[in-house]
Amino acid sequence: MDRNRVFGPGPVLVGHRGCGGGTVNGHQENTLGSFLAAVGAGIDWVEVDVRRTSDDRLVVAHNPADSGGVFYADLTSQEAVEKGALRLEELLEALPPTVGVDFDVKTAMEDATRARDETTMGRLAAVAAREASRRELLITSFDAGALDIARQLAPAVPRGLLTWVYFPIDHAVAAAAHLDVQVLAPHWGSLLPNGVEPEEPQRPLDYVIDLVHSSGREFLAWCPTVEYARRLLDAGVDALCVDDVPDVVDALVPRPS
């Protein structure tokens, strides 16, 4: 299968929610300060959680509701910003165009009642189609249906299938191929023996990554420990979405001699 590579010739690091989930070096996740700190640490890409507000705007937030239990889908964009959310357009304007963006699109149950182009992914697809002219992009989601909307509305933007913690890796590899996405992005726990997938039915790590590559896709693992990240890099992964960006960059990026 002949495809243009999403992540370029070598493995890249993707800053999870900016500098990392939670608070890293004083920067709260999914804030402008966190994303800019990740860029300052030398990160290649950033992962951006995208949610939709009640007035059809897009904000950067991971959970569907804030710490007080108020859902972003019930707030206007201005109300969401007043509660600490970051407008997506503000982030994209501030990020240097040399930094790639992985949009992690968070489907809301309210999308079930909307036309495809009016869903969260539909709104993001229009933004991504415009943004693709000035930076590298990837649209990822746990929602296979949303990825189909992205294929329809932003066909030039690469897509990636996210799979949840301990989701069986054999299912994930096959699903990425059946959906014809460019990237498989499993949680690293799917690559370990666990309560869902004990050791006996699991293929070796090298086998899994080689098979993903043979199917014409790239492999992005998210949130591994530094120790397991080294194993993943040795096995040939294309990208790692990482927490604690400054420490990971220091541990994994070779220093000039």
CATH number reported for the structural domain that contains residue 111 in this entry: 3.20.20.190
| pLDDT for 245 beyond 50 | yes
* Per-residue pLDDT, 2: 39
In a domain, 148, yes or no: yes
First to last CA, the chain: 38
pLDDT digits (tens, 9 = 90+) for 137-195: 999 999 999 999 999 999 999 999 999 999 999 999 999 999 999 999 999 999 999 88
In a domain, 9, yes or no: no
Q: What is the DSSP letter of 187?
A: B
In a domain, 8, yes or no: no
In a domain, 257, yes or no: no
Please give the angle made by the CA atoms of 44, 159 and 114, to the nearest 5 degrees.
125
Secondary structure (3-state) at 27: strand
Residue 151 half-sphere exposure toward CB, CA atoms < 13 A: 13
Q: What is the DSSP letter of 19?
A: T
In a domain, 4, yes or no: no
Instruction: Yes or no: say if 30 and 61 are a contact pair by the CB < 8 Å rule.
Output: yes
pLDDT digits (tens, 9 = 90+) for 102-116: 999 999 999 999 999
Query: How far is CA 218 from its chain centroid?
Result: 13
pTM score, two decimals?
0.96
Q: What is the CA radius of gyration of the chain?
A: 18
Q: Residue 228 sits in which domain range?
A: 15-251
List the one residue out of 111, 112, 114, 133 whose CA is nearest residue 50.
111
Q: Which residues pair with 222 in a beta bridge?
A: 187, 241
Left (φ > 0), alpha (ψ -120 to 50) or beta: where does 25 sit?
left
What is the DSSP pairing of strand 45-52 with strand 100-105?
Answer: parallel
pLDDT digits (tens, 9 = 90+) for 36-95: 999 999 999 999 999 999 999 999 999 999 989 999 999 999 999 999 999 999 999 999
In a domain, 7, yes or no: no
Cα–Cα distance for residue pair 56/198, rounded to 1 Å? 43
Q: The tokens of 63 are what?
A: 């959970």
In a domain, 3, yes or no: no
Number of domains into which the chain is organized: 1
In a domain, 5, yes or no: no
